[in-house]
Protein backbone atom coordinates (compact mmCIF):
# COMPACT_ATOMS: atom_id res chain seq x y z
CA UNK A 1 0.00 0.00 0.00
CA UNK A 2 2.79 2.45 0.86
CA UNK A 3 4.50 1.67 -2.47
CA UNK A 4 1.23 2.64 -4.20
CA UNK A 5 1.17 6.04 -2.48
CA UNK A 6 4.78 6.82 -3.33
CA UNK A 7 4.40 5.64 -6.94
CA UNK A 8 1.30 7.75 -7.58
CA UNK A 9 2.47 10.81 -5.68
CA UNK A 10 -0.56 10.64 -3.40
CA UNK A 11 1.62 10.43 -0.29
CA UNK A 12 3.30 13.71 -1.24
CA UNK A 13 -0.10 15.39 -1.69
CA UNK A 14 -1.32 13.97 1.60
CA UNK A 15 1.75 15.21 3.48
CA UNK A 16 1.54 18.67 1.87
CA UNK A 17 -2.12 18.91 2.85
CA UNK A 18 -1.32 18.04 6.47
CA UNK A 19 1.54 20.56 6.59
CA UNK A 20 -0.66 23.28 5.08
CA UNK A 21 -3.41 22.74 7.63
CA UNK A 22 -0.88 22.89 10.47
CA UNK A 23 0.89 25.99 9.25
CA UNK A 24 -2.03 28.07 8.06
CA UNK A 25 -4.90 27.14 10.35
CA UNK A 26 -6.72 30.19 11.65
CA UNK A 27 -4.99 32.68 9.34
CA UNK A 28 -6.38 34.47 6.34
CA UNK A 29 -3.06 35.85 5.11
CA UNK A 30 -0.37 33.18 4.65
CA UNK A 31 2.55 35.59 4.73
CA UNK A 32 1.35 36.97 8.05
CA UNK A 33 0.89 33.50 9.53
CA UNK A 34 4.47 32.51 8.82
CA UNK A 35 5.69 35.35 11.05
CA UNK A 36 4.05 33.78 14.08
CA UNK A 37 5.01 30.13 13.78
CA UNK A 38 6.95 28.81 16.75
CA UNK A 39 7.96 25.20 17.14
CA UNK A 40 7.47 22.98 20.19
CA UNK A 41 10.60 22.78 22.29
CA UNK A 42 12.09 25.94 20.81
CA UNK A 43 13.92 27.90 23.48
CA UNK A 44 11.93 31.13 23.41
CA UNK A 45 13.96 34.00 24.85
CA UNK A 46 11.03 36.43 25.22
CA UNK A 47 7.90 34.52 26.12
CA UNK A 48 4.20 35.21 26.70
CA UNK A 49 2.99 33.47 29.87
CA UNK A 50 -0.53 34.94 29.91
CA UNK A 51 -2.83 34.67 28.08
CA UNK A 52 -2.15 31.13 26.94
CA UNK A 53 -2.50 29.64 23.46
CA UNK A 54 -6.20 29.20 22.55
CA UNK A 55 -7.15 31.06 25.73
CA UNK A 56 -9.92 33.60 26.14
CA UNK A 57 -9.68 37.31 26.83
CA UNK A 58 -11.90 40.26 27.68
CA UNK A 59 -11.74 43.72 26.11
CA UNK A 60 -8.73 44.55 28.31
CA UNK A 61 -6.21 42.13 29.74
CA UNK A 62 -2.84 42.35 31.40
CA UNK A 63 -0.46 40.42 29.16
CA UNK A 64 2.40 38.86 31.14
CA UNK A 65 5.63 37.16 30.22
CA UNK A 66 9.32 36.74 30.80
CA UNK A 67 12.51 37.92 29.15
CA UNK A 68 15.78 35.97 29.11
CA UNK A 69 17.75 38.39 26.92
CA UNK A 70 20.10 41.08 28.18
CA UNK A 71 18.76 44.17 26.44
CA UNK A 72 20.96 46.95 25.12
CA UNK A 73 19.99 50.58 25.75
CA UNK A 74 18.37 50.86 22.33
CA UNK A 75 16.19 47.72 22.61
CA UNK A 76 12.63 47.62 23.94
CA UNK A 77 9.99 44.91 24.28
CA UNK A 78 6.50 45.63 22.93
CA UNK A 79 3.22 43.74 22.90
CA UNK A 80 1.28 43.95 19.66
CA UNK A 81 -2.27 42.72 19.04
CA UNK A 82 -3.12 41.36 15.58
CA UNK A 83 -6.88 40.82 15.02
CA UNK A 84 -7.14 38.04 12.44
CA UNK A 85 -10.18 39.65 10.76
CA UNK A 86 -8.62 43.12 10.55
CA UNK A 87 -5.24 41.82 9.36
CA UNK A 88 -3.44 44.80 10.94
CA UNK A 89 -1.00 45.28 13.79
CA UNK A 90 -2.12 47.24 16.84
CA UNK A 91 0.84 48.16 19.04
CA UNK A 92 -0.16 48.24 22.71
CA UNK A 93 2.88 49.77 24.39
CA UNK A 94 6.34 49.00 25.63
CA UNK A 95 6.19 46.46 28.44
CA UNK A 96 6.95 47.22 32.06
CA UNK A 97 10.11 45.11 32.52
CA UNK A 98 11.25 44.18 36.02
CA UNK A 99 14.86 43.40 36.92
CA UNK A 100 14.10 39.67 37.24
CA UNK A 101 12.92 39.56 33.59
CA UNK A 102 9.20 39.40 34.32
CA UNK A 103 7.19 41.84 32.21
CA UNK A 104 3.59 42.96 31.80
CA UNK A 105 1.45 45.48 29.96
CA UNK A 106 -2.21 46.23 29.35
CA UNK A 107 -3.58 45.11 25.98
CA UNK A 108 -6.89 45.91 24.27
CA UNK A 109 -8.77 43.39 22.14
CA UNK A 110 -11.12 45.09 19.69
CA UNK A 111 -13.33 47.98 20.68
CA UNK A 112 -15.44 48.09 23.81
CA UNK A 113 -18.56 47.39 21.73
CA UNK A 114 -16.95 45.20 19.01
CA UNK A 115 -14.75 42.15 18.89
CA UNK A 116 -16.59 39.55 20.96
CA UNK A 117 -16.12 36.14 19.34
CA UNK A 118 -13.13 37.29 17.27
CA UNK A 119 -9.67 35.74 17.32
CA UNK A 120 -6.51 37.72 17.94
CA UNK A 121 -2.79 37.02 17.89
CA UNK A 122 -0.94 38.45 20.87
CA UNK A 123 2.65 39.07 19.82
CA UNK A 124 5.69 39.96 21.88
CA UNK A 125 8.49 41.63 19.94
CA UNK A 126 11.93 43.04 20.50
CA UNK A 127 12.45 46.37 18.72
CA UNK A 128 15.46 48.55 18.05
CA UNK A 129 15.44 52.32 18.60
CA UNK A 130 14.17 53.14 15.08
CA UNK A 131 11.28 50.68 15.36
CA UNK A 132 10.56 51.92 18.88
CA UNK A 133 10.30 55.50 17.58
CA UNK A 134 7.84 54.40 14.87
CA UNK A 135 5.70 52.51 17.39
CA UNK A 136 5.76 55.44 19.83
CA UNK A 137 4.80 57.86 17.00
CA UNK A 138 1.89 55.57 16.08
CA UNK A 139 0.69 55.56 19.71
CA UNK A 140 1.07 59.34 20.09
CA UNK A 141 -0.84 60.08 16.87
CA UNK A 142 -3.55 57.52 17.61
CA UNK A 143 -4.17 59.00 21.07
CA UNK A 144 -4.05 62.57 19.78
CA UNK A 145 -6.56 61.88 16.97
CA UNK A 146 -8.51 59.19 18.85
CA UNK A 147 -8.12 57.06 15.72
CA UNK A 148 -6.64 53.57 15.96
CA UNK A 149 -6.23 52.44 12.35
CA UNK A 150 -3.54 49.85 13.03
CA UNK A 151 -0.37 49.31 11.03
CA UNK A 152 -0.12 47.30 7.81
CA UNK A 153 3.35 46.03 8.71
CA UNK A 154 5.64 45.96 11.69
CA UNK A 155 8.52 48.42 11.37
CA UNK A 156 11.95 47.30 10.22
CA UNK A 157 13.98 46.51 13.32
CA UNK A 158 11.18 44.44 14.91
CA UNK A 159 11.76 40.79 15.77
CA UNK A 160 8.81 38.74 17.00
CA UNK A 161 9.66 36.17 19.66
CA UNK A 162 6.36 34.63 20.71
CA UNK A 163 2.71 34.74 19.72
CA UNK A 164 -0.46 33.15 21.03
CA UNK A 165 -3.94 33.02 19.53
CA UNK A 166 -6.81 34.01 21.79
CA UNK A 167 -10.54 34.55 21.48
CA UNK A 168 -12.39 37.47 23.00
CA UNK A 169 -15.41 36.28 24.97
CA UNK A 170 -16.77 39.50 26.52
* 68 in the same domain as 58: yes
* 44 in the same domain as 91: yes
Domain that holds residue 74: 37-168
Rounded Cα distance, 170 and 92, in Å: 19
* 71 in the same domain as 23: no
| Side-chain half-sphere exposure of 39, counting CA atoms within 13 A | 1
* 150 in the same domain as 92: yes
Count of the separate structural domains present in the chain: 2
* 3 in the same domain as 45: no
pLDDT digits (tens, 9 = 90+) for 114-130: 888 899 999 999 999 99
Q: Mind giving me the DSSP string for the chain? A: -HHHHHHHTHHHHHHHHHHHHHHHTT-S-HHHHHHT---TT---SEEEEESPTTEEE-SEEEEEEEE-S---TT-EEEEEEEETTTT-BEEEEE-EE-TTSEEEEEEE-SBTTB-TT-EEEEEEEEE-HHHHHHHHHHHHHHHHHT----BSSPPTTEEEEEEEEEEE--
* 83 in the same domain as 24: no
pTM: 0.73
Quick one: average pLDDT of 15-44?
A: 42
Quick one: average pLDDT of 13-37?
A: 39
Rounded Cα distance, 166 and 56, in Å: 5
For 121, counting Cβ atoms within 10 Å of its Cβ (0-12 exposed, 13-18 middle, 19+ buried), the class is buried
Between 92 and 113, the higher pLDDT residue: 92
* 129 in the same domain as 69: yes
For 86, counting Cβ atoms within 10 Å of its Cβ (0-12 exposed, 13-18 middle, 19+ buried), the class is middle
What pLDDT sits at residue 25?
Answer: 37
Quick one: average pLDDT of 153-166?
A: 95
CATH at residue 115? 2.60.40.10
* 26 in the same domain as 45: no
* 25 in the same domain as 106: no
Residue 9 has pLDDT above 90, yes or no: no
* 144 in the same domain as 105: yes
* 62 in the same domain as 25: no
Residue 103 has pLDDT above 50, yes or no: yes
pLDDT digits (tens, 9 = 90+) for 38-95: 444 455 799 999 999 999 999 999 999 999 988 888 999 999 999 999 999 999 989 9
* 124 in the same domain as 55: yes
Largest CA distance in the chain: 66
Amino acid sequence: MIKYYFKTGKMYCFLMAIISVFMFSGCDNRSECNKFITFPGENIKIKINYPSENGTVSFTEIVKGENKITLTDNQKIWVIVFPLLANKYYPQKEVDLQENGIWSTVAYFGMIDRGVGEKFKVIVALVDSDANNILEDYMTNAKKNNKWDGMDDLPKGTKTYDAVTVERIR
